[in-house]
Amino acid sequence: MIDDPTAPIDFPALPQAGPRQAKALMIQGTSSDVGKSLLVAGLCRAYARRGLKVRPFKAQNMSNNAAVTADSDLPPGSDGQVPRGEIGRAQALQARACGVEPSIHMNPVLLKPQTLIGSQVVLRGRVLGNCRAKVYHKMKPQLLPAVLDSFHRTAAQADLVLVEGAGSGAEVYLRKSDITNMKLAELADLPVVVLGDIDRGGALAAIVGTHALLNEAENARVVGYIINKFRGDLSLFEPACELMTQRTGWPWLGVVRWFESASRLPAEDSLALERPAEGEGHGLNIAVPQLSRVANFDDLDPLAAEPGVSVHWVKPGTPIPRETDVVILPGSKSTRADLEVMRREGWDIDILAHVRQGGRVVGLCAGFQMLGRVVRDPQGIEGEPGETPGLGLLDVETEISGEKKLIDLNATDQTSGCRVTGYEMHMGRTYGAGLERPWLMLEDKQGKPRPEGAMSADGQVTGAYVHGIFGNDDFRAHWLRRVGAEASTLDYEARVEAALEALADHCEDNLDLDALLALAT
């Protein structure tokens, strides 16, 4: 636990750089979930297609959906390998849109919520510890030098940096501790575009209210506003845009219509689960309990994309449907707390009944830990020290430890014969007799087999630490056939690429990208 917000934080810094050569433009929102991440991803692909070297940047992200990077601030291990880092999934997708590998410098500060009042703080890929919200706000000035250093490193590799703000840029009561909105814009000398969301209503008030809350210098930094997620007849909304420009003095830069294929791209955080896509088919029924600290839920996207699969997120207050074929327990940032959620909702009873009736259960990462006999946290890594009984469906036990395991996987599963790519991202060690019956047998770089996960004697219950496993087309088809479902010829990665291309086209169709680029400085 981080208790001293003033303690100095060491990080490898760049030598003093000269004037920034890359152009940069910042997209700030009037609130969370206005579509900043998606718009930046579309702009990244659109400008990259024009031959520009584009990079994304978000100083601070709060999300339990994360991706592994090849770089980190940690020194090489005894094997000479540089440890992996992690950033928000949204910035990893934006990096993909740019055609480059994700880097810790694209999202130097990642907050992973663990309780209602605290989060795990990750700085440039390394875990600093857990922190209560009040302590973190006092700690943020200590993070600002690392944020600015990472921005300059990112800019040094680019012609254009597209910077994403966090939440609302008009939360002026947080101005003193700001490291990701107007404070960053000031220190890095960034022009700002304000993005409003008309789909939720109140776009007029949100834009005008943002202008009213910003001070004179901040307002002068805004080069215009964009309205996002529009549906309907634009002529009916144009008077509102004229009024917004009149009240703020900001130029109207355009309206982006609703993008129908947004669900085909990985979502940034659990806000997306308020309106989840439930798959395109009605053959195999998969139920996923919506845990309170659900993490890396995009593991389920490839299954939801299958034409013969229906993925249903089970909301609190709702039992797991009886017609369910497979229950999947997703990742979680707080395994023990979400085990308590499972029991409070009665999902544990539903799952045990489901298994007795011949149903299947799969656990991914924390979901794998929940399937065991017990989860122990003696150091209080994820909350209060203690232990919590698991579901007892696998003969394993887990102890949460302070060292995070970050591994990129690219191996052959000898059990299925399929190539498996993905990653591990967890704090904890699982052990027990159940591991002698692994779900996967991964072949490492030296050709040696490495058992991964566990499987019950009857094969109904399986679990592993591998994230992204269902994104592998051959493995997904093998798994679907194994659970009695029909496999398709879906190329999931091609589907994501097609959605990114369509998003870039959407940006080209709805915005004047030449005029927007001219605003970058």
Residues 34-69: tens digit of each pLDDT: 999 999 999 999 999 999 999 999 999 999 999 999
Asked whether 322 and 284 are in contact (CB, 8 A), the reply is: no
Q: What pLDDT shows up at residue 12?
A: 84
Q: Look up 467 and say whether it is catalytic.
A: yes
Q: What pLDDT shows up at residue 470?
A: 97
Nearby residues of 408 by Cβ (< 8 Å), 6 or more positions away? 68, 70, 84, 423
Q: Which two tokens stand for residue 499?
A: 């959605």
Place of tokens 């694209």: 106
What is the chain's Cα-based Rg? 23
Confidence band for 282, pLDDT divided at 50, 70 and 90: low
Instruction: Please tell me which residue in 152, 211, 426, 467 is annotated as part of the active site.
Output: 467
List the domains of the chain with CATH numbers. Answer: 23-263+500-516 (3.40.50.300), 284-485 (3.40.50.880)
Average pLDDT over residues 442-459: 87
Q: Is the pLDDT of residue 487 over 70?
A: yes
- Of 79-83, 182-186, 217-221, 490-494, which gets the smallest average pLDDT? 79-83
The burial class, CB within 10 Å (0-12 / 13-18 / 19+), for 11 is middle
Average pLDDT over residues 184-203: 96
Average pLDDT over residues 284-302: 94
Q: What pLDDT shows up at residue 277?
A: 47
Q: What pLDDT shows up at residue 276?
A: 47
**Would you say how long the chain is, in residues?**
521
Q: Is the pLDDT of residue 453 over 50?
A: yes
- pLDDT one-digit tens code per residue, 112-163: 988 766 899 999 988 898 889 889 999 999 999 999 999 999 999 999 999 9
Query: Can you list the alpha helix ranges (DSSP code H) found in 192-237?
Result: 203-213, 216-221
**CA dist 336 to 117, 287, 343, 425, Å?**
16, 21, 11, 17
Q: Is the pLDDT of residue 14 over 80?
A: no
Instruction: Please tell me which residue in 365, 418, 426, 507 is annotated as part of the active site.
Output: 365
Mean pLDDT of the chain: 92
